Amino acid sequence: MRGTKEEKKTMELSIDEFIRRYEQHILPKRFTKIRHYGYLKNHKRTERLKQLFALLQLPAPPPKIMIPMRQRMLEKYGKDIRLCPKCEHAHMDLVATYRQGVLCKTYEEKPKNKASPSN
C-alpha cells in the first residue's frame, strides 16, 4: 500500500533517473490511453447504464438540461453578468469568448435598433 497523507517520502534522483521515470508515462505513437472501461466504456454505454439501473431497481437519472452561464452565475453569486459593472442598469452583449488567452468564438453584432431601416 502506498503512503498515506501523513506519511511523505522525499527522495533524491539523478537527472537521468528522473527523465527515465518521466518517460515511463509517455505512450508510443500507436497507443492511446483508455479513459473508461467495463460498463462505462463508450460502446453502447447508454444501453448498459439503462440495464444496470433496471437490475438495481433504481429510478432512471433525470435528463441533463443546459443551464446558461448567465443563470448559473446569478444563482451562485447573485450577480447578473450581463449588467454593466459601473451603472448596473445597461445590459452588455457578448462579443467574443477567449480560452487561455486565445480567441475561441466571435458573435455577430446585434443591430442596436430593430425598428430602424438598414441601408
CA distance 68 to 88: 20
Mean pLDDT of 1-27: 84
Q: Sorting pLDDT into bands at 50, 70 and 90, what band is 13?
A: very high
Nearest alpha-carbon partner for 93 in 106, 75, 74: 106
Region for residue 77 given its phi and psi (left: phi exceeds 0; alpha: psi -120 to 50; beta: otherwise): alpha
Output the pTM of the full model: 0.36
* Nine cell digits for residue 85: 459593472
- CA 76 – CA 70 distance, rounded (Å): 10
Q: For residue 108, what pLDDT band results from cuts at 50, 70 and 90?
A: confident
Q: What is the pLDDT of residues 68-84, one digit of tens each?
A: 888 998 999 988 888 88
